Structure formats: C-alpha cells, structure tokens
C-alpha cells in the first residue's frame, strides 16, 4: 500500500504526521484524557510499553510547561529502545520484572505514581501466522501483567489506564480490576477503529484490598480459568460502564477522507522511525529468501 493510500484510508495516521506525533495512538490518549481529565494534579506518571513514544509525547506536551519550578516526573518503560523525549525518563526494561518496578520508583524520591498508563501489546515478529497465534495467547495476559506492576508503583487514589481487547473472557478482567479500583470504565476513543476489538479500561481511585501485598508472581496471572467466568450471574457478574470518547465532530477512524481538495497533498515521512524494530530480522530474512521453508 502506498503512503498516500494509507493517508487517505486513515485520517489519524496522516494527522499524526502533520502534528508531529510518533504514532496515531497519541489521539487515543488525547481523546480519553478529554473525557476523564486524566492529567489533573499529576506529579508522578508512568507510561508502560511506551515505544515508539506517542503517549509519552502527549504526557510531555500536556504535563511539562516552560519554566516550571518543579516539573512532573514521567517515567517511560519499554523492551525496545526509544528516541529521547523532553522531560521523559526512559527505562529499557521488561514490565514483568520486579526490578523494573523498583527502577521506576527509584525516580520518584519515595513517592508513588498518580497515573499509570499502558498501551502494551505483545511484540510482533513480522511472521504473520506466528504473530496472530502469539497475540491470541498473550492479549489477555498483558493487562494482568500491567496491573501487577501498577500495584507496585501506583498510589492509593491513583488512576490506571490500559488497552484491552474485548474478547469473550473480558468479564473476568473487569472482576479483577474491580478488586483494586473503585471505578472501572471501558472507553472506546473515536480514533480507535470500530472494526477493532481494542478498547481502553480507565480505572480510577486505586484502593487495593486491605493487607494486599504487591507481588509479581501473584495469581492474577492465572491461565487456568475457563470461559465459565463469562457466564457468571447476579452479583458475581461484573459489568462496567462503556463510554465513547472523542468529540463527535472529530474524524471517524473507520472512514476514508479525501487527501486534499486543492490537490496540494504531500505525503509525510514518519515522525520517528523505529530505532531497532523487532521485525527487522524477519524483514531481512524475507528479502534474502531465508524464510523459505526449503532453506
């Protein structure tokens, strides 16, 4: 697909380049923030699974003001290296590791985070069949992992926002989140395509159960559950509010828009190319025909 055809098909992809965002996902966070006022009084913030960094860019642009005496501390974590961003402390690390939680906290001078955001998704290899399989296996695991590290770094009363995939077992996830947060809302920003099962969970007022001790290996990550959780009835069944975010006059992410009425359209280069994308090896092998089954 040519650049112009993607620009035409995806208005947010084009807009991201026009406004200097590293990825179109920036609009998802901006639209969620519009609805929930996420950034009010935030002094310590964590961006989990942050690369290439468009959510961190939003945090940097919204939270850090010129000449601020005591600017907020923002820590971004990813397995991948990320190009530097103003005011963002970067950790190249794995969010499943206790040591990463400790590293985050070490930047907060004994304080805990007011806001933790996570746009995590399993890494892609570029081998589509394998990616599809891995994603199916890991999608449900990402949130419990992100929640695990969040319970180490979030202050009581704090907010946690994370990408979710509303699959058939989502009720179990809602139930887990309701144990830790007073308010749990499922939010679909307009920049997230309707054709995708992606949504975002906004969890407000962190109140861990009394005597809860954060632990990276705790049973939140229990793969042994089965779909009967989705059949729970009465007070055992947790249904959270569902909210659409983003002004109704904003672009519809499923619609195609004309490029330019006056024919002045110029394709734009990506704002920040990946430093070392995980799919680099796969692409190289594909080009040299090394992926051929007979090799």
Q: Is 94 annotated as a binding residue?
A: yes
Whether residue 86 lies in the annotated active site: no
Is the CB of 142 or the CB of 184 nearer to ligand SAM? 142
Strand order in 242-245's β-sheet? 88-92, 73-78, 44-48, 113-118, 154-165, 198-206, 181-189, 242-245
Q: Is 119 annotated as a binding residue?
A: yes
Q: Is 114 annotated as a binding residue?
A: no
The DSSP call for residue 177 is H
CA angle 37, 39, 43 (to 5 degrees): 150
Answer yes or no whether residue 50 interacts with ligand SAM by CB under 6 A.
yes
Answer yes or no whether residue 55 interacts with ligand SAM by CB under 6 A.
yes
CA-wise closest residue to 160 among 283, 12, 293, 48: 48
Q: Is 78 annotated as a binding residue?
A: yes
- Cα–chain center distance at 63: 18
Minimum CB–partner distance for residue 22 and ligand SAM (Å):
6
Answer yes or no whether residue 54 interacts with ligand SAM by CB under 6 A.
yes
Answer yes or no whether residue 22 interacts with ligand SAM by CB under 6 A.
yes
Binding mask 56-85 for ligand SAM (x = CB under 6 A): ---------------------xxxx-----
Is there a contact between 238 and 223 (Cβ–Cβ < 8 Å)? no
Q: Which two tokens stand for residue 167?
A: 């699959």
Minimum CB–partner distance for residue 8 and ligand SAM (Å):
22
Task: Decide: helix, strand or coil at residue 262.
Answer: coil
Answer yes or no whether residue 46 interacts with ligand SAM by CB under 6 A.
no
Minimum CB–partner distance for residue 197 and ligand SAM (Å):
15
Minimum CB–partner distance for residue 203 and ligand SAM (Å):
17
Instruction: State how far the Cα of 290 lies from the Cα of 191, in Å rounded to an integer.
Output: 37
Is there a contact between 163 and 187 (Cβ–Cβ < 8 Å)? no
Contact footprint for ligand SAM (CB under 6 A)? 22-23, 25, 49-55, 77-80, 94-96, 119-123
């Amino acid at each position: 697909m040519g650049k112009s055809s993607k620009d035409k098909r995806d208005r947010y992809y084009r807009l991201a380049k026009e406004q200097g965002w590293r990825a179109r996902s920036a609009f998802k966070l901006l639209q969620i923030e519009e609805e929930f006022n996420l950034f009010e009084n935030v002094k310590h913030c964590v961006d989990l699974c942050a690369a290439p960094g468009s959510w961190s860019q939003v945090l940097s642009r919204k939270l850090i003001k010129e000449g601020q005496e005591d600017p907020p501390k923002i820590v971004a974590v990813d397995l991948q290296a990320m190009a530097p961003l103003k005011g963002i402390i970067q950790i190249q690390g794995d969010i499943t590791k206790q040591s990463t939680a400790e590293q985050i906290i070490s930047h907060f001078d004994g304080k805990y985070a007011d806001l933790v955001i996570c746009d995590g998704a399993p890494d892609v290899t570029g081998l589509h069949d394998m990616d599809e399989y891995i994603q199916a296996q890991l999608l449900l695991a990402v949130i419990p992992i992100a929640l695990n590290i969040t319970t180490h770094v979030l202050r009581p009363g704090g907010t946690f926002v994370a990408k979710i995939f509303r699959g058939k077992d989502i009720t179990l996830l809602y139930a887990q989140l309701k144990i830790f947060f007073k308010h749990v809302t499922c939010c679909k920003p307009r920049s997230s395509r309707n054709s995708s099962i992606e949504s975002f969970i906004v969890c407000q007022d962190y109140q861990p159960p009394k005597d809860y001790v954060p632990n990276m290996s705790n049973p939140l990550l229990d793969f042994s559950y089965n779909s009967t959780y989705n059949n729970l009835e009465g007070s055992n069944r947790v249904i959270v509010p569902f909210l659409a975010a983003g002004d109704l006059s904003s672009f519809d992410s499923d619609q195609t828009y004309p490029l330019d009425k006056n024919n002045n359209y110029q394709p734009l280069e990506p704002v920040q190319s990946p430093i070392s994308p995980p799919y680099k090896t796969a692409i190289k092998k594909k080009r040299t025909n090394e992926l051929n089954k007979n090799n």
